[in-house]
Structure 1
Amino acid sequence: MITYDEPLFRPPSEAYSLILQVSLGCAWNKCAFCEMYSNKQFRLRPEEEIFAEIDSLSSQADQIRKVFLADGNAMVMSFDKLSRLLDKLNATFPKLNRVSAYALPRDIESKTDEELRILTSKGLKLLYVGIESGDDKLLQVINKGEDFSSTSSALKKARQAGIKLSVMILNGLGGQKYSEQHAINSAKVVNEIQPEFLSTLVLSYPYGEDHFKQKFNDEFIPLNTIELIAEMKVFIETLELDNTVFRSDHASNYLILKGNLNRDKEELLDRINGVFDDPANAKLRPEWMRGL
Structure 2
Amino acid sequence: MFYNDDFPIQYIDPVYRPPSEARSLIIPVTNGCSWNKCSFCEMYTDEQKRFYVRKEHEILEEITKSGQVLQDVNRVFLGDGDAMVLSFRRLKTILLELNNAFPDLKRVSAYCLPGNIKNKTIKELEDLKNLGLSMLYVGFESGDDEVLKRINKGESSLSIFEAMEKIKQAGITSSVMIINGLGGVDMSEQHAVNSAALVNKIQPEYLSSLVLTFHKGPQRFRKEFGTVFQPLNSVQLLHEMHSFIKELNLRKTIYRSDHVSNLLPLKGTLGKDKNRLLSEIELAEKQLGYRSLINLKQI
TM-score band, normalised by the shorter chain?
Answer: over 0.9
CA distance in 1, matches of 2:106, 2:116: 23
Where structure 2 has 5 or more consecutive residues not aligned to the other structure, the ranges are 1-7, 292-299
| Runs of 4+ with >6 A deviation | none
Identity value in percent: 51
Cα shift at 1:280: 7.3
What is the CA deviation profile of residues 113-165 of structure 1, one whole-angstrom value per residue up to 9, with x for unaligned ones?
11011000110000001010000011001100001000011111101100000
CA distance in 2, matches of 1:278, 1:7: 38
Q: Which residue is equivalent to 2:5?
A: none
CA distance in 2, matches of 1:35, 1:209: 10
Q: Which residue is equivalent to 1:21?
A: 28
SS in 2 for 1:234: helix
Whether the 8 Å contact between 1:62 and 1:95 is mirrored in structure 2 is no
Are 2:263 and 1:254 equivalent residues in the alignment?
yes
Moved more, 119-128 or 106-115: 106-115
CA distance in 2, matches of 1:210, 1:145: 20
CA 1:22/1:281 → structure 2, altered by over 3 Å: closer, same or farther? farther
What is the CA deviation profile of residues 52-71 of structure 1, one whole-angstrom value per residue up to 9, with x for unaligned ones?
11111123455110000000
Cα shift at 1:92: 0.9
Q: Which residues in structure 2 correspond to 1:148-227 (within 5 Å)?
A: 148-227=157-236
Task: Pick from 18, 38, 41 the counterpart of residue 31 of structure 1.
Answer: 38
CA distance in 2, matches of 1:234, 1:210: 28
Whether the 8 Å contact between 1:187 and 1:238 is mirrored in structure 2 is yes
What is the CA deviation profile of residues 172-209 of structure 1, one whole-angstrom value per residue up to 9, with x for unaligned ones?
00100110000000001100110000000000012212
SS in 2 for 1:63: coil
Whether the 8 Å contact between 2:64 and 2:97 is mirrored in structure 1 is no
The one-letter amino acid of 2:127's match is I
Whether the 8 Å contact between 2:39 and 2:220 is mirrored in structure 1 is no
Q: Which residue is equivalent to 2:251?
A: 242
Q: Which residues in structure 2 correspond to 1:48-197 (within 5 Å)?
A: 48-60=57-69, 62-197=71-206
- Structure 1 length-normalised TM: 0.94
CA distance in 2, matches of 1:276, 1:29: 35
SS in 2 for 1:278: helix
The one-letter amino acid of 1:93's match is F
CA 1:280/1:188 → structure 2, altered by over 3 Å: closer, same or farther? closer
Cα shift at 1:212: 2.3
Whether the 8 Å contact between 1:142 and 1:217 is mirrored in structure 2 is no
CA distance in 2, matches of 1:122, 1:267: 39
Where structure 1 has 5 or more consecutive residues not aligned to the other structure, the ranges are 283-292
Q: Which residue is equivalent to 1:265?
A: 274
SS in 2 for 1:166: strand
CA distance in 1, matches of 2:37, 2:65: 35
Task: Pick from 5, 8, 11 the counterpart of residue 18 of structure 2.
Answer: 11
Equivalent pairs counted in the alignment come to 282
The one-letter amino acid of 1:27's match is S
State the Cα RMSD in Å. Answer: 1.3
Whether the 8 Å contact between 2:175 and 2:205 is mirrored in structure 1 is yes
What is the CA deviation profile of residues 21-58 of structure 1, one whole-angstrom value per residue up to 9, with x for unaligned ones?
00001000000100111122211100110011111112
Q: Which residue is equivalent to 1:279?
A: 288
CA 1:18/1:264 → structure 2, altered by over 3 Å: closer, same or farther? same
Q: Which residue is equivalent to 2:3?
A: none
